[in-house]
Chain A
Amino acid sequence: MVNDVVVSVLLISGALLSLAAAVGLVRFPDLLSRMHAATKPQVLGLLLLLLALAVEFESWVLVPLLVLCWVFQLLTSPVSAHMVGRAGYRTRHLRRDLLTLDELDDVVARAAVDHGPGAHRQRNGGHAGQEADGVP
């Protein structure tokens, strides 16, 4: 009976975290803040749901696959968030009026000046990292 209660609580809170992601997706004003809401409550939500699965079936054979499933999400979700976020910043999909501070913008502006007047500012936008790699 204790198991059933634990499973229920884990299921409901996991589902609520999915709802948190969706509510954030609808309510937040620009792409980058939506990314926060969308990608990360999912990590915790999946953890809770997998825990519910482990408690319900009470089998140790299951644990490696569940751990694998979660570790996979731990490894992939920041990478895809970074890729989408970087693409969003470079293609100006953010509302600058909502930022209280933008320290990347100064770097981008300086990089544009260093590349001379011919350099297109947007093209150079956010390339600070790649220039360090020696990638044109």
Chain B
Amino acid sequence: MSRQRIPLITELPLVIWLVLVWGALWQDFGPGTLVFGAIIAYAVVNFFYLPPVELTGRFNVLWVVPFLGRFLVKLVTASLQVFWLAVSKGPTLRNAVVAVQLRSHSDFLVTATGHAISLIPGSLVLEVDRSTSTLYLHCLNIASAEDADAVRRDVRATEAWLIRIMGSGQDLAALRRERAEQ
């Protein structure tokens, strides 16, 4: 089994995350725990080999806070909405499978968007087409084409947020051009 060496810099976010998990599990962030955690994390990353995640190299912290706020608001309203649908509509519910074409072609960004969409109740990623970066979503309570359009707009808005936070420069430029045209 031939493995190509991955440079340490692409592994670094994963190692840092593993060290933080280690510290949180021990409920102790002293230097001894962190150093030992770093050794274990390095060993884990090297022994249990995974394909490297290609980050885009950009991360804008300024956009993260409003994104998290929007996410939490959506999470609360949509959870209540699903509860209400379960009580009021129940078996008479109408659903739809909607295809949404995303702008970005980065695997990482498509995954992040799908993840954020799946966490908000009312939509669920069924299938991903990597070649065209299209998400196929199963959505609750879609009665008409307008509802489906609303879902598409919503998903693309979420993607725009994520591009602003950690999209590549190329995607960001595409987003700016699109905004300028409108």
Please pick, from A68, A100, A103, A129, the residue contacting B25 in the complex, using a CB distance under 8 A.
A68
Residues of chain B lying within 8 A (CB to CB) of residue A101: 96-98, 142, 145, 148
Kindly provide the distance from the CB of A65 to the nearest chain B CB, expressed in whole angstroms. Answer: 5
Are B83 and A28 neighbours in the complex by a CB distance under 8 Å? Answer: no
Please pick, from B20, B97, B124, the residue contacting A36 in the complex, using a CB distance under 8 A.
B124
- CB within 8 Å of B: which residues of A? 16-17, 20, 23-24, 27-29, 32-33, 35-37, 40-41, 43-44, 61-62, 64-65, 67-68, 74-75, 77-78, 81-82, 85-86, 89, 98-105, 107, 126, 128-129, 132-133
**Shortest Cβ distance from B124 into A: residue:** A85
- 10 closest A-B pairs (Cβ-Cβ)? A78-B118, A20-B83, A24-B86, A27-B90, A40-B121, A132-B131, A64-B24, A103-B99, A101-B96, A68-B24
- 13 residue pairs from A and B, CB less than 8 Å apart: A23-B87, A28-B86, A33-B95, A36-B123, A40-B79, A44-B76, A78-B114, A78-B119, A82-B124, A86-B126, A100-B95, A129-B128, A133-B130
Q: What band does the interface of chain B fall in when counting residues whose beta carbon is under 8 Å from A? A: 35 or more
Residues of chain B lying within 8 A (CB to CB) of residue A35: 124, 138
A36 touching B82 in the complex, CB below 8 Å, given contacts A43-B119, A64-B27, A82-B118: yes
Are B125 and A82 neighbours in the complex by a CB distance under 8 Å? Answer: yes
Please pick, from B27, B118, B125, B148, the residue contacting A61 in the complex, using a CB distance under 8 A.
B27
Are B142 and A100 neighbours in the complex by a CB distance under 8 Å? Answer: yes
Are B115 and A78 neighbours in the complex by a CB distance under 8 Å? Answer: yes
Are A100 and B138 neighbours in the complex by a CB distance under 8 Å? Answer: no
Please pick, from A23, A40, A68, the residue contacting B119 in the complex, using a CB distance under 8 A.
A40
